[in-house]
């Protein structure tokens, strides 16, 4: 029992200490590469936190929220971007870093007082924070772009948009490749990065098993299919063709589910483990 408690305390202490270091010290460093360098130890700590937990489910959840999302938010923070810029207290920094929460644009004028003085803590949190919408009826998506861009896991989609899509598109626009081409290439680049990051999640879930890259192939396939979809829509617009909305929904959901089962579900069933024989910490 004592050994288990220590294992639980250590990662939580590491997490709190890392975020405290980021908020109280690194935040005072000028934005840019220098701030990024000082955050490298935090990125490393975030990468080992999931290994403290024997459960595959916990490793998967923590690798998503801590190793991927929290690290991405800190990366944006290095360059004066992202949701952490709106944090005014260390509590703000903790909540926004590790949870799918954001600061309300117009919190109540007395919310700061409530955070420090109110005994009704839940009410104070409700006044200060709001939950980021994760899903928006993905089963009603009428295209792959609609599914991945506006309906499925909007939390990670927004992070990928800020960290990969926008910088890539801006860079390509700067070398004059064309607006349409820049968007397509930035989209494909974002999905490739998403695939690699999902490989990382599966790496934690399967106790460090060597990646098969089927997960990356899944997201690359989605990106190529979206590019093809956009081209077909342009031709259909010229020809005057149209597809009934119900047909669009069936095609979109059918393609996503089939490829999901083929390239994501089967690899997990084949290689997944519920617990690691030895924790990697």
Three-point CA angle 211, 58, 135, nearest 5° = 85
222 and 193 Cβ atoms separated by less than 8 Å:
no
Share of the chain above pLDDT 90, in %: 35
**Could you read off the pLDDT of 93-123 as tens digits, one per residue?**
999 999 998 888 764 545 454 445 444 755 5
Residue 236 to residue 160: CA distance in whole angstroms: 30
| DSSP assignment letter at 243 | -
Residue 98 to residue 82: CA distance in whole angstroms: 14
Query: Where residue 75 falls among pLDDT bands split at 50, 70, 90?
Result: very high
User: Of the candidates 186, 149, 16, 31, which has an alpha carbon nearest to the alpha carbon of residue 90?
Assistant: 16
In sequence order, which residues have a C-beta less than 8 Å from that of residue 30 and are 6 or more positions away? none
111 and 128 Cβ atoms separated by less than 8 Å:
yes
* pLDDT for 236: 83
Q: Which residue shows structure tokens 């598109």?
A: 169
Give yes or no for residue 68 having a pLDDT over 80: yes
Q: Which residue shows structure tokens 């010229």?
A: 238
Residue 98 to residue 197: CA distance in whole angstroms: 17
**Could you read off the pLDDT of 185-228 as tens digits, one per residue?**
888 888 889 989 998 998 898 888 888 888 888 888 888 888 88
Residue 115 to residue 124: CA distance in whole angstroms: 6
Q: How many residues does the chain have?
A: 281
Residue 105 to residue 39: CA distance in whole angstroms: 27
Among 37-46, 80-89, 157-166, 178-187, name the one with the lowest average pLDDT. Answer: 178-187
Give yes or no for residue 275 having a pLDDT over 80: no
Query: Where residue 6 falls among pLDDT bands split at 50, 70, 90?
Result: very low
Among 3-7, 40-44, 87-91, 170-174, name the one with the lowest average pLDDT. Answer: 3-7
* pLDDT for 73: 96
Q: Which residue shows structure tokens 């005057």?
A: 240
What number of other Cβ atoms are within 10 A of residue 146's Cβ? 18
The mean per-residue pLDDT over the stretch 149-171 comes to 89
Residue 180 to residue 187: CA distance in whole angstroms: 11
């Amino acid at each position: 029992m004592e050994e288990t408690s220590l294992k639980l305390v250590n990662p939580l202490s590491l997490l709190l200490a890392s975020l405290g270091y980021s908020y109280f010290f690194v935040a005072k460093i000028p934005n840019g590469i220098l701030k990024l360098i000082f955050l490298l130890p935090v990125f490393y700590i975030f990468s080992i936190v999931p290994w403290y937990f024997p459960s595959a489910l916990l490793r998967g959840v923590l690798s998503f929220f801590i190793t991927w999302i929290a690290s991405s938010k800190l990366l944006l923070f290095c360059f004066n971007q992202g949701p952490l810029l709106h944090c005014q207290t260390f509590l703000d920094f903790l909540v926004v870093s590790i949870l799918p929460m954001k600061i309300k644009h117009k919190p109540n004028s007395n919310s700061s007082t409530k955070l420090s003085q109110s005994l009704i803590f839940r009410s104070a949190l409700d006044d200060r924070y709001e939950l980021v919408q994760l899903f928006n009826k993905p089963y009603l998506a009428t295209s792959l772009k609609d599914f991945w861009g506006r309906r499925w896991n909007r939390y990670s989609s927004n992070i990928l948009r800020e960290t990969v899509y926008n910088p890539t598109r801006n860079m390509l626009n700067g070398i004059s490749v064309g607006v349409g081409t820049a968007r397509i290439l930035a989209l494909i680049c974002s999905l490739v990065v998403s695939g690699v990051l999902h490989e990382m999640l599966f790496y934690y879930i399967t106790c460090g098993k060597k990646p098969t890259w089927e997960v990356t192939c899944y997201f690359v396939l989605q990106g190529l299919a979206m590019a093809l979809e956009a081209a077909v829509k342009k031709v259909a617009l010229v020809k005057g063709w149209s597809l009934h909305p119900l047909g669009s929904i069936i095609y979109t959901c059918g393609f996503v589910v089939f490829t999901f089962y083929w390239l994501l579900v089967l690899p997990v069933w084949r290689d997944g483990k519920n617990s690691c024989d030895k924790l990697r910490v």
